[in-house]
């Protein structure tokens, strides 16, 4: 019976373990340093109320369905998806606001009413452009094996002509500048670079497809919170015989005579194959031991980190507080990206993201208050005491601004928070980065580590720092792809002898 050990119980590890259950003769063990599964999709409890501390919405739910199908369980048997109304509200420094609805047409109408007819038309046209990028890019960069420059060149002339639709030679900002005339709508589209922690000034225009994924293909909440997704996947895995060893940090992965040794401080497991659902830097710099030299490059900038918090906020009348909100800064939004990526400092006047969990996920709050999630983008690598003081100053700035704009009351309190240093400690090797490497530069898609590590037969990678990248659906897809590579190359590696 082949034995696979999955290192890390984040979404990528959960998806990989379920996909390996497709082979009934495999023995699958998941080892996790924390006391819970889920990785960055975490949760906490305060005075009887459970609230999420990570991702706030679900896109591409078909990936979740695909994971559930690995064990022949329809997604709807385990999860209920919700579509909150109103969904998203954007606030600008001149007092303008508009809402994003669950259809492109309705959102275009809202934008036309707020910014003028031309802005509504440009928004709709930009979504068409973004849709075209997704239709070409997704098969090459998301749903299959990790792309290489060689595989791109082998597409042939006809496909290469079509490949120009992905707009790889310009930056996101350049493409937005050409197509959008209103500065508020430009800021709106710039923000989609933050969905994988990148810089729109240098990320390829290909990433403009992210707005189509959210607005064209749709976004949902999960009834009860995103933690219910983790709970459902863990239960499915346990029911299919997957063993979970929680509070078992891994300190080394070695390979001797074709057998992997996965070691902790007081335990050791052996396996024929290993799925590493941890930051790739952690594998290369700390875990790789005897016989494990993945030969992976770690060049390129890390993606953004974040300061996140949950506020126990007095509940507002229906419609006053939206499920999701973005408050843009008073000054130039571009300053945020130069602060983070050029000056490597917390943004002086950041955009603020809010998620009202009760409305976004129909999750229960307290008698008079609800959990309000707050997120501000930050640079990675902020791990010193001085950086913690800078985070504290930023926290006071954010709370003051939220009170001035009447999003929270004066006595609403922060009941949970996490700094970039906390993230770096919780996820070793990440330096506090949320999504692995940033997608900055035209060749960024080709630099992300592939799921199959050819230098070490039997070793595959899953999670946000491996192909196809970070975020809920892509991390799940990464786990599926890692298991697919393992199963398809197992015979070549001698796993089925």
Q: What is the pLDDT of residues 463-489, one digit of tens each?
A: 999 999 999 999 999 999 999 999 998
**Residue 211's closest CA among 183, 187, 185, 192?**
192
Q: What is the enclosing helix (H) or strand (E) of 364?
A: none
* Closest CA relative to residue 28, chosen from 482, 470, 454: 482
Report in angstroms the alpha-carbon separations of 470 from 60, 222, 456, 479, 492: 13, 19, 24, 11, 29
Longest dimension (CA), the chain: 68
Mean pLDDT check: name the lowest of 119-128, 266-275, 310-319, 346-355. Answer: 310-319
Mean pLDDT over all residues of the chain? 93
DSSP 244-255: EE-S----EEEE
Q: Which residues of 110-128 are buried (b: 16+ CB within 10 A; e: fewer)?
A: bbbebbeeebbebbbebbe
Dump pLDDT digits (tens) for 150-174: 666 565 545 666 777 788 889 999 9
| 183-190 vs 117-141: helix crossing angle, rounded to 10 | 20
- Residue 384: Cβ-neighbour burial (10 angstroms; 0-12, 13-18, 19+): exposed
The residue to which tokens 């990433």 are assigned:
207
Q: Residues 164, 168, 169, 173: what is their CA dihedral angle, to the nearest 10 degrees?
A: 120
Distance CA 472, CA 41 (A): 8
Spell out the domain ranges in the chain: 3-43+61-82+225-300+432-489, 103-218, 303-426
pLDDT digits (tens, 9 = 90+) for 219-247: 999 999 999 999 999 999 999 999 999 99
Report CA-CA distances (Å) from 228 to 44, 46, 225: 13, 17, 6
b/e map of 337-360 (b: 16 or more CB within 10 Å)? bebbbeeeebbebbbbbbbbbbbb
pLDDT of residue 149: 64
Indicate the pTM of the whole model.
Answer: 0.95
What are 402-448's pLDDT values in tens digits? 999 999 999 999 999 999 999 999 999 999 999 988 988 877 777 88
- What is the token pair recorded at 442? 């035209």
pLDDT of residue 493: 82
CATH topology (fold) of 3-43+61-82+225-300+432-489: FAD/NAD(P)-binding domain (3.50.50)
Which DSSP category does 298 fall into? -
Within the chain, how many helices (H) and strands (E) appear?
Answer: 17, 20
Angle among Cα 453, 454, 458 to the nearest 5 degrees reads: 65
Q: What is the mean pLDDT of residues 366-386?
A: 96
* Distance separating alpha carbons of residues 404 and 424, to the nearest angstrom: 32
Smallest CA-to-CA distance from 352 within 300, 303, 405 is with: 405
Residues 445-463: tens digit of each pLDDT:
778 899 999 999 999 999 9
Q: Is 253 left (phi over 0), alpha (psi -120 to 50) or beta?
A: beta
- Per-residue confidence (pLDDT) for residue 374, from 0 to 100: 98
């Amino acid at each position: 019976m082949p034995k696979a050990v999955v290192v890390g119980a984040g979404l990528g590890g959960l998806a990989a373990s379920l996909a390996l259950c497709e082979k009934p003769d495999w023995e699958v063990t998941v080892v996790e340093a924390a006391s819970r599964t889920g990785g960055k999709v975490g949760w906490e409890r305060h005075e009887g109320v459970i609230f999420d501390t990570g991702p706030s919405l679900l896109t591409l739910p078909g990936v979740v369905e695909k994971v559930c199908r690995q064990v022949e369980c329809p997604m709807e048997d385990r999860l209920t998806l919700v579509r909150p109304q109103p969904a998203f509200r954007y606030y600008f420094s001149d007092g303008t606001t508009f809402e994003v609805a669950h259809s492109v047409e309705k959102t275009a109408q809202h934008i036309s009413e707020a910014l003028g007819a031309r802005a509504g038309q440009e928004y709709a046209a930009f979504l068409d452009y973004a849709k075209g990028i997704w239709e070409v890019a997704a098969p090459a960069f998301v749903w299959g094996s990790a792309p290489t420059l060689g595989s791109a060149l082998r597409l042939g002339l006809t496909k290469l002509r079509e490949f120009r639709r992905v707009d790889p030679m310009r930056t996101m900002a350049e493409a937005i500048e050409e197509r959008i005339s209103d500065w508020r709508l430009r800021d709106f589209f710039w923000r989609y670079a933050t969905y994988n922690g990148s810089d729109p000034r240098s990320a390829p225009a290909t990433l403009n497809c992210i707005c189509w994924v959210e607005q064209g293909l749709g976004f949902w909440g999960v009834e009860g919170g995103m933690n219910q997704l983790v709970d459902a996947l863990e239960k499915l895995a346990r029911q299919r015989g997957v063993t979970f060893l929680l509070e078992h940090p891994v300190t080394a992965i070695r390979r001797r005579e074709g057998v992997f040794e996965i070691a902790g401080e007081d335990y050791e497991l052996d396996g024929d194959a290993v799925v590493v659902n941890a930051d790739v830097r952690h594998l290369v710099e700390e875990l790789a031991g005897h016989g494990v030299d993945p030969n992976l490059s770690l060049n390129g900038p890390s993606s953004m980190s974040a300061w996140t918090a949950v506020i126990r906020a007095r509940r507002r009348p229906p419609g006053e507080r939206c499920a999701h909100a973005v408050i843009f800064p008073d000054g130039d939004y571009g300053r945020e990206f130069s602060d983070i990526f050029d000056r490597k400092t917390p943004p002086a006047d950041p955009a603020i993201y809010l998620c009202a969990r009760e409305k976004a996920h129909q999750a229960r709050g307290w008698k008079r208050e609800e959990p309000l999630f707050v997120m501000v983008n930050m640079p990675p690598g902020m791990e010193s005491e001085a950086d913690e003081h800078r985070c504290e100053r930023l926290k006071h700035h954010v709370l003051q601004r939220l009170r001035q704009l009447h999003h929270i009351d004066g006595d609403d309190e922060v009941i949970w928070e996490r700094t970039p240093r906390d993230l770096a400690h919780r996820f070793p090797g990440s330096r506090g980065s949320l999504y692995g490497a940033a997608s900055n530069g035209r060749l960024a898609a080709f630099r992300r580590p592939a799921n199959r590590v050819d230098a070490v037969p039997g070793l595959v990678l899953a999670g946000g720092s491996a192909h196809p990248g970070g975020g809920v659906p892509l991390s799940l897809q990464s786990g599926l792809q890692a298991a697919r590579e393992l199963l398809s190359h197992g015979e070549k590696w001698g796993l089925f002898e």
